[in-house]
Amino acid sequence: MSYDVIVVGAGPAGSAAASECARLGLKTLCLEEHGTIGYPVQCAGLLSNAAFAECRVSERSVLNRVSGARVRSGRGHEILIDTGTTRAVVVDRGALDREMAEAAAGAGAEFRLRTAVYGVRGHTVLTRGVNGHEEQSSDLLIAADGPRSTIARLLGMERAPVFLAGIQADIAHECDPRLVELYPDASPDFFGWSVPTSGNRIRVGLCGKTQVPQRFEALMKTFGPAGSTNLVTGTLPLGIMPRTYGHRTLFVGDAAGFAKPTSGGGIYTGVRSARHAAAVAAESCERGRFDDAALAGYEQKWQADFGKELRLGFRLFGMRQRMSDGDIDAFITALNDPPVIRIIEEYFDMDRPGTVIGKLLLNPAMIRLLRPLFLSGLKSLF
């Protein structure tokens, strides 16, 4: 059977792409290798208000609401940011993913589960799964198949420059349900976290380049003896792939390297990139053109939307690698100043951190602290 668009992957980005393509009148097929949409879960499930709104779902998946964060250094200093209003939600990712897929199916997209792509030949994808070996043809592919994108590998596309490994577990632990906690020293490459799903349960995890299991075990010990449930591992791509289109294919979400280097979150950028991809797919199908020149508009769209934020985030990630525990402690201490806290509370945006960084760089005390590590890397962006 022939389709206008085949979407590979039924996570939030894939379902958003399938939904938008179907809404625009394209005959759309979404392929998912797993037997159940939303599993395995490889996400802390913390979404900014904007990211959750982009998913266009009900609140059935919401487990908790968060108004702030506490950042703790390994040397005992901390900073507390609490806006007093909901800034993010903690969700059941399985429920969220399923609701997005249901919306896409309701818009007219066809779904096939337990169906993995193992080859691409011209207009045709080769699949194997519950229906055995099959061939499906389309005018265009949208690759939403995650950080280890099979489609990127099959097409010989260059990948994101950095991949981090992550581990997370759900544990019983009394906490302030309003606050996420961050532990920069738990993983020198990135950070550790605890995300409250309620007042007595949290998701504890971290990402890093090396010694991830050992560092995760050390972090877990700080919470005392507590049985864990739903232990998961995953991969986090950081840095955008050099080209996000080609070979009649558009890459969205983690497959394109759109995870935010400042937080690791990828739903906001994933869903927005998916809608940009659907718009370009509709234009291409209407014109009957699928060459690289016709698809280049996709990259222009997402670059104008969130490209600058991702480039800034990746630069900050690089600077993070040069910060010692002492640097982190000094940074947290400097941030723990009422005027600085007010700036953060007013301007911080999980999805677009550029604004608050620009505001902080106007503060003389922050300039003195950040100059050795940050200023040279940031000046080209402001």
- What phi, psi does 327 have (nearest 5°)? -65, -45
Arithmetic mean of pLDDT, 3-26: 98
Is the pLDDT assigned to residue 146 strictly greater than 50? yes
What is the tens place of the pLDDT at every residue in 334-363?
A: 888 898 899 999 999 999 988 898 888 787
Are the beta carbons of 81 and 341 closer than 8 angstroms? Answer: yes
Residue 369 confidence class, pLDDT cut points 50, 70, 90: low
Distances (CA, A) of 361 to 280, 284, 343, 373: 37, 43, 11, 13
For the entire predicted model, the pTM comes to 0.93
- Give the whole-angstrom CA distance, residue 220 versus residue 73: 16
Q: What is the pLDDT of residue 1?
A: 74
Are the beta carbons of 251 and 237 closer than 8 angstroms? Answer: no
Nearest to 23 by CA among 210, 281, 349: 281
What is the tens place of the pLDDT at every residue in 48-98?
A: 999 999 999 999 999 999 999 999 999 989 999 999 999 999 999 999 999
Conformational region of residue 356, where left means phi above 0, alpha means psi within -120 to 50, and beta covers everything else? alpha
